């Protein structure tokens, strides 16, 4: 059969592209190496709870057009992301705000908090930060750094903060209001019934083949007597893998999840996301999924999130946009520009860290380019 587009990847980018192209009467075929659609935003029903299988995904955007677009496919609740942080036997609100500072120093007013932070920064007298530790200390002072930044960051990166470059942290937002809303965006929420249903609606009747890599699919198709033909390919996988890593491997960040059903426990931690900031605790956070949708189920499902040092063959989550990798990506990007009738999209295909709203925005930009 002849298709207008082969879409490699059944995640959000590919699903938006397929939805828009089929509206234009184009024929699409989607393939994905996983055994499910929706990519990293996949939600799985377990004990009547929508479990964010690859980590917490809260949709947020300041772009009303994108908010209106995603609301075509689901009704969103009014969830506000308000994570907590545990340090030893202390519990703090995030992001860093007056609730955090009040608990940390037993104070009440913004002036008191500013005076303490500015005093600590002044005492440290760091003029030119040489590493991430000095950068964070120069931005937030010793207490915030030691309790809420140091251990968490070291777990994420797998090395001491003194061994990490200062540019990783450009700023540490300190809010001098009593506001636990993590995001500043105007629109925020969680889709009722989960993200998988959104992707399912976007894909509609477009055929999907699961459990096949791009190379496996192309080899099998080539061997068929009645092989499928494609006008164009949209590739949302790793751009370096597409080119057989011929210029070298790009680096990605990856994480590991341990999911657990707690039968008979209706409320384990009282919040959707709780970070653990001590380096000695191996996981970075615990997610309790029912709280994303204000669930009242008799059981609960929790997920421990562990940072993992990236190695070739691991599941890529997002790129490491440092100087070395960005330079290598630019070379792959030049090669991609020379590929006839092949489009590259998404976090992995464009080697960019995109939130969900930005994924939709970039997919719609590509659609507009295709429409001319």
Residues 72 and 10 placed together within one structural domain of the fold: yes
Residues 209 and 158 in one domain: no
Q: What average pLDDT score do residues 279-301 get? A: 98
pLDDT tens per residue, range 189-230? 999 999 999 999 999 999 999 999 999 999 999 999 899 999
When pLDDT is averaged across residues 115-132 and rounded to a whole number, the result is: 97
Question: Band of the pLDDT at 313, cuts 50, 70, 90?
Answer: confident
Per residue in 7-50, pLDDT (tens digit) is 999 999 999 999 999 999 999 999 999 999 999 999 999 999 99
Q: What is the 3-state secondary structure (H, E, C) of the chain?
A: CEEEEEEECCCHHHHHHHHHHHHCCCCEEEEECCCCCCHHHCEEEECCEEEECCCCCCEEECCHHHHHHHCCCCCECCCCCCCEEEECCEEEECCCCHHHHHHHHCCCCHHHHHHHHHHHHHHHCCCCCCCHHHHHHHHHHHHHHHHHHHHHHHHHHCCCHHHCCHHHCCCCCCCCCCCCCCCCCCEEECECCCHHHHHHHHHCCCCEEECCCHHHHHHHHHHCCCCCEEEEEEECCCHHHHCCCCCCCCCEEEEEEEEEEECCCCCCCCCCEEEECCCCCCCCEEEEHHHHHCCCCCCEEEEEEEEECCCCCCCCCEECCCHHHHHHHHHHHHHHHCCCCEEECHHHHCCCCCCHHHHHHHHHHHHHHHHC
Domain co-membership, 248 together with 338:
yes
**pTM to 2 decimal places:** 0.96
Does 170 score more than 90 pLDDT?
no
Q: What is the mean pLDDT of the chain?
A: 97
Q: Does 82 reside within a domain?
A: no
348 and 227, same structural domain?
yes
In a shared domain, residues 6 and 72 = yes
pLDDT class of 322 with cuts at 50, 70, 90: confident
> Same domain, yes or no, for 11 and 69?
yes
Predicted pLDDT of residue 25? 98
Do 129 and 50 share a domain, yes or no? Answer: no
17 and 162 inside one domain:
no
Residues 247 and 323 in one domain: yes
Please check whether residue 301 lies inside any domain of the structure. Answer: no
Question: Which of residues 140, 168, 196 is at a domain's end?
Answer: 168
pLDDT the model gives residue 79: 98
What pLDDT score does 310 carry? 85
pLDDT of residue 309: 82
- Is 181 within a domain? no
| In a domain? residue 9 | yes
Is residue 248 included in any domain, yes or no?
yes
**What pLDDT does residue 232 have?**
98
* Ranges 159-168, 266-275, 306-315, most confident: 266-275
Least confident stretch, 30-34, 117-121, 164-168, 352-356: 164-168
We report the CATH number of the domain holding residue 20 as: 3.40.50.720
- State the residue range of the domain holding 110: 103-168
Tell me: do 243 and 333 sit in the same domain: yes
**For 237-241, what is the mean pLDDT?**
97
**Same domain? 16 vs 51:** yes
Portion of the chain with pLDDT greater than 90, in percent: 92
**Residues classed as catalytic:** 171, 175, 253, 285, 305, 353, 355
- Into how many domains does the chain fold? 2
Q: Are residues 159 and 107 in the same domain?
A: yes
- Under the banding of pLDDT at 50, 70 and 90, the label for residue 323 is confident
């Amino acid at each position: 059969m002849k298709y207008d587009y082969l879409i490699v990847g059944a995640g959000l980018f590919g699903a938006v592209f397929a939805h828009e192209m089929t509206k234009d009467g184009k024929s699409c075929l989607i393939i994905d190496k996983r055994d499910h659609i929706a990519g990293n935003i996949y939600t799985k029903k377990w004990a009547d709870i929508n479990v964010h299988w690859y980590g917490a995904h809260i949709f947020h955007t300041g772009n009303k057009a994108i908010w209106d677009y995603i609301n075509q496919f689901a009704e969103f609740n009014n969830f506000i992301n308000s994570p907590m942080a545990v340090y030893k036997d202390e519990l703090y609100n995030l992001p860093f705000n007056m609730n955090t500072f009040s608990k940390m120093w037993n104070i009440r007013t913004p002036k008191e908090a500013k005076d303490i932070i500015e005093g600590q920064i002044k005492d440290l007298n760091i003029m030119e930060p040489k590493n991430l530790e000095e950068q964070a200390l120069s931005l937030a002072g010793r207490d915030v750094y030691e309790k809420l930044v140091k251990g968490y960051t070291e777990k994420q990166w797998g090395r001491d903060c003194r061994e990490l470059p200062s540019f990783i942290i450009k700023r540490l937002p300190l809010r001098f209001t009593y506001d636990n809303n993590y995001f500043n965006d105007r629109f925020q929420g969680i889709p009722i019934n989960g993200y998988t249903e959104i992707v399912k609606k976007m894909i509609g009747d477009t055929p999907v083949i699961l459990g096949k890599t791009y190379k496996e699919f192309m080899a099998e198709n080539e061997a068929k007597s009645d092989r499928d033909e494609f006008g164009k390919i949209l590739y949302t996988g790793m751009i370096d893998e597409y080119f057989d890593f011929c210029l070298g491997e790009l680096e990605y960040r990856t994480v590991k999840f341990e999911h657990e059903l707690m039968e008979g426990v209706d409320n384990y931690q009282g919040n959707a996301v709780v970070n653990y900031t001590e380096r000695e605790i191996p996981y970075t956070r615990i997610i309790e999924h029912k709280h994303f949708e204000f669930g009242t189920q008799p059981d609960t499902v929790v997920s421990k999130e562990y940072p993992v040092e990236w190695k070739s063959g691991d599941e890529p989550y997002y790129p490491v946009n440092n100087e070395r990798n960005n330079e290598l990506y630019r070379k792959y990007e030049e090669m991609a520009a020379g590929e006839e009738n092949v489009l590259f999209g998404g976090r992995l295909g464009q080697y960019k860290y995109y939130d969900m709203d930005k994924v939709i925005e970039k997919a719609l930009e590509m659609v507009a380019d295709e429409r001319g």
